[in-house]
Structure 1
Amino acid sequence: MIVVRYAVSDPGKAAERSRLLEQHKAYLYGAAIRILLSGPSAPPAEGKGSTAVVIADVETLAEFETFSAGDPFVRAGVYRSVDVFEWRPSFGLLLDSL
């Protein structure tokens, strides 16, 4: 199953985000799940939170939710919102590689 995490940073937690960035990256790189793509958006407009997406291939949504909950950014409340959902891609150049 392909799952997506769409997270929006809390602009008021910028210092915490900077402090935890290397831990967050290490957590993603060391993941026991298969992360297909991950990364932040372009810099946000002034006063708006940046966004980040993780796309992964997992057995269950619960498996990914557990993984997401352990992310240092999630644990520290760096994200203002985190949405996790199953995604069913149906078209695109990368579809055959999933």
Structure 2
Amino acid sequence: MIVARYAISDPGKRAERARLLEEHKAHLQGTAIRILLSGPSAPPAAGGGSTALVIAEVETLAEFEAFSAGDPFVRSGVYASVEIFEWRPTLGLLLERLSDGS
């Protein structure tokens, strides 16, 4: 199953985010979960929170929820909101690569 996590950072936690950035990256890179794509959005408008997206392939939604709960950004409250959901892509070049195992 393909899952996505959409998170919005708390603008008031910029210092905490900067302090935990390397730990956050290590969490993403050190996982057994197959992360397909991950990264932040372009810089936010003045005073706004940055957004980030993780798209992964997992066996169950619960597996990804546990992975997300262990993320230093989630644990420390850097994200003001986190949405996790199953995603069912139906079209696109990346989907074709997933289907043929590339």
Q: Sort the TM-score into its range (normalised by shorter chain).
A: over 0.9
Shift of the alpha carbon at 1:96?
1.5
Structure 1 residue 5 displacement after superposition: 0.1
CA apart distance, 1:97 = 1.7
Equivalent position of 1:80 in the other structure: 80
Q: Structure 2: where are the runs of 5+ without partners?
A: none
Identity of aligned residues (%): 79
Alignment of 1:1-98 (within 5 A): 1-98=1-98
Between the aligned partners of 2:32 and 2:94, the Cα distance in structure 1 is 22
Structure 1: 4+ residue segments shifted above 3 A: none
CA RMSD of aligned residues (A): 0.4
Q: Is there any run of 5+ residues in structure 1 with no aligned partner, and where?
A: none
| Cα distance in 1 between the residues matched to 2:11 and 2:82 | 14
The whole-number CA distance in structure 2 between the counterparts of 1:66 and 1:97 is: 27
Deviation of the 1:4 alpha carbon: 0.1
Structure-1-length-normalised TM-score: 0.99
The number of residues matched between the two structures is 98
Shift of 1:45: 0.2
TM-score by length of structure 2 reads 0.95
